[in-house]
Structure 1
């Protein structure tokens, strides 16, 4: 019996020691980089949570997430490292980190980003569909764990000659006009297929720009770059509100001559009434026409209305289809005004104001007269008091003076000689 207990105790200690060694052991994953590889990405899975792995080059030099050369980019999560290296040293590399049953290293060699070429001439306000693709060794990259952590940014930077030679403070600021992911949302058709699709609205002011497509997590930087020209919008919209009951409103959409192909303008408008009713109106221009007039129904209900939509056209010369979203705009319908009644009410109000002003002037005159009277009474009282005081002072002084007959005669003695 005692031997059985010792055997069970030994088994428990052995299992515990094995588990402790497994959780603390280092992963010894080695992989070889071919001399022909110009760029490689390591996707390293590790225990969660744990510190990032240490990457060891063939010559023994170590790379850390917080200490690495400029050609190494490192994206980290609690259970994953994505490390991208430009021009890696050929030979056996090693990643050292915590072991987990899921732990593995996936090598993505010759990672490449290809994108649609943007038109060299864009129009402010237009919306374009833009697609980018990720590939490895020339094949679509379909590694979902990697793609879920990659989002692409599209930035427009004002064009300056020899931008790289300028100090950082003097370089133009890049403005993001869109970002997108391979998540099957919006214009992206299939999640995790290595194809990123987004709808971009060209918002920058007219001018020349550098367009850059980069990775949002820093796995690859400035992957694509292109120069484009942004022109002012060639589509103008004018809303003409009806002032006559029963007569429709009109939305006029016209294209700039020489920029828009005649007869190519079409539009779809969504019109929302105060009661929540929505009307969708679509119309296209007549052949060779440079504008289209879209009737908007007159509802007659008092309140606020709104409309928005989208205009389509074709660029003259290139034949490129154009798509312009029209932002929401509002207008109001008010009660019909009776001008005669309005004039009568205005006259009544004018007379009322005039009478009020006269009453205020009379009141001011009365107040002024009352004030003057009070001042006169006050002054008179002061004068009377002063006179009385003077008389009292004079009488008192007379009473103190002795009478003449009561004054003793003064005998003047002449000095004797």
Structure 2
């Protein structure tokens, strides 16, 4: 196995605006940590699909990706390990792994994550730009392989007093509301400059929350935590639909009094017609006005329409600029209805239904009368049958009964036999 020694000094040149990569071809699997280092992160490139390296401290103790102390954080990929160590033991460390000529170790000392201070008062529905910076020795890191794997995210957790003292099952659940990116897309200004940007949509319900910046891959532990209050949205948007051709629809965007600075509201609305035609209109509120009305043309065409947009305002008191995306909404334009003809048809239908109900009631009455008659006839027949049966058995008994004057003769004749 090829070997080479290198030290931490000279790894990051402070003479440049951006911190330079400190890397050398891995001819040796050893590297030295200076006693002044409080935290170090190193990136190990190894053979594709090889096993993670084994770290050996200066005293011979071994660290593995699956077995390590709490001060070691380990992120692994098929051809890379990113390992961060808090308060590393000074002296020569050793990384034992599958070595190829392309392997190298990049050392990053004093790795730090700093973020902006989030406003202590947020509004539900608003969207804010939030940035974080990753530095080494107070210089931005521009190593693409490392930045692409940092995986920073923002979570909101419902505020609970003494949360750390609660058992795990009783603690509130953290909800992710945004991921940082350093890709130059969206609100991120420059790709790969070490400045991470996230567009946060404040979706949680109003209340008090703990905001945490964390790393999903373990390179960083919790980097920042603060408490914020989420208030109900101070911006109301109303769509006023026109009923007459030639008269415009209206979108009213208004701010809550005492929360939004008068005259600061501005809005842009994009309107889509059934045929795909697009209409965009922007307007600002007049001085000291607390709402703005945006007209949308109405041409009377039948079909389904949609509209969306964005609203801007300034928070009263703090002067903080606010931005609220307006979600897509829809409405329909139907054929004009002849009210008089509709009422006439409705009245005809009502009379028809009424006549039908009367006929059904007559049928029910007739059926009920017929049923009663049938029951009476059945009862009468049963009574007649019963009377007949009674009479039959009564007459039979009379025929079988002997006459009184014949009884003595029968008694006298019996001895003769």
| Aligned equivalents of 2:280, 2:388: Cα separation in 1 | 99
- Deviations along 1:125-155, one digit per CA (max 9) or x if unpaired, are 2111122222222222122222222211011
| CA RMSD after TM alignment | 2.6
Count of residues in Structure 1 that have an aligned counterpart in Structure 2: 389
Judge which range, 76-85 or 151-160, deviates more. Answer: 151-160
Contact 1:212 1:225 in 2 (8 A): yes
CA distance in 1, matches of 2:393, 2:287: 116
Separation of aligned partners in 2, 1:409 and 1:290 = 132
Q: Distance in 2 between matches of 1:312 and 1:346?
A: 48
2:43 maps to 43
Structure 1 range deviating more: 243-252 or 65-74: 243-252
Looking at structure 2, the residues matched to 408 and 120 of structure 1 have their Cα atoms a distance apart, in angstroms, of 130
Shift of 1:113: 1.4
Cα distance in 1 between the residues matched to 2:411 and 2:279? 135
CA distance in 1, matches of 2:122, 2:406: 129
Q: Report the secondary structure of 2:40's partner residue.
A: strand
Deviation at 1:257, TM superposition (A): 2.9
- The Cα of 1:377 is off from its aligned counterpart by 2.3
- Normalised by the size of structure 1, how large is the TM-score? 0.85
1:59-94 CA distance string (max 9 Å, x none): 111111111111111111222211111111111111
**Cα distance, 1:162 vs structure 2:** 4.4
Q: Which residue of 1 aligns with 2:84?
A: 84
Contact 1:126 1:324 in 2 (8 A): yes
SS at match of 2:203: coil
* CA displacement 1:20-77 (0-9 Å, x = unmatched): xxxxxx9951111111111111211222322221111111111111111111111112
Deviation of residue 188 (structure 1)? 2.7
Q: Does 1:340 align with 2:340?
A: yes
Residue in 2 aligned with 1:183?
A: 183
- Aligned partners of 1:206 and 1:405: how far apart in 2? 116
Counterpart residue number, 2:267: 267
Is 1:156 paired with 2:156?
Answer: yes
2:236 aligns with: 236
Q: What CA distance in whole angstroms lies between the structure 1 residues aligned with 2:92 and 2:229?
A: 47
Q: Does 2:119 align with 1:119?
A: yes
Equivalent in the alignment of 1:350: 350
Q: How far apart are 1:208 and its partner, in Å? A: 3.4
1:199 matched residue in structure 2:
199
Contact kept? 2:244, 2:300, Cα under 8 Å: no
Counterparts of 1:237 and 1:372 in 2: how far apart (Å)? 67
Tell me how far 1:401 sits from its aligned partner.
4.4
Contact 1:268–1:311 (8 Å) recurs in 2: yes
Partner of 2:13: none
Does residue 105 of the first structure (1) align with residue 109 of the second (2)? no
1:27·1:97 contact (CA, 8 Å) conserved in 2?
A: no
Alpha carbons of structure 1 residues 383 and 208: separation in structure 2 relative to 1, 3 Å: closer
Can you give the 5+ residue segments of structure 1 that lack an aligned partner in the other structure? 1-17, 19-25
1:134 alignment counterpart: 134
Q: Structure 2-normalised TM-score?
A: 0.85
Equivalent-residue separation in structure 2 for 1:394 and 1:412 (angstroms): 31
* Equivalence for 1:253: 253
Distance in 1 between residues matched to 2:392 and 2:158, nearest whole Å = 100
Cα distance in 1 between the residues matched to 2:403 and 2:285: 129
Question: Does structure 1 residue 393 correspond to structure 2 residue 393?
Answer: yes
Contact 1:27/1:98 (8 A) holds in 2: no
| Alpha-carbon contact 2:265-2:314 (below 8 Å) kept | yes
Q: Deviations over 1:257-305 (max 9, x none)?
A: 3332322211100112223222111111122322211112113123332
> How far apart in 1 are the matches of 2:364 and 2:164?
78
Task: List aligned pairs for 1:298-337, cutoff 5 A.
Answer: 298-337=298-337
Contact 1:150 1:181 in 2 (8 A): no
Query: 1 CA distance for matches of 2:269 and 2:131?
Result: 27
CA distance in 2, matches of 1:367, 1:320: 80
Aligned-pair CA distance for 1:217: 0.7
Task: Tell me how far apart the structure 2 counterparts of residues 53 and 112 of structure 1 sit (CA, whole Å).
Answer: 24
CA–CA distance in 1 between the matches of 2:62 and 2:294?
68
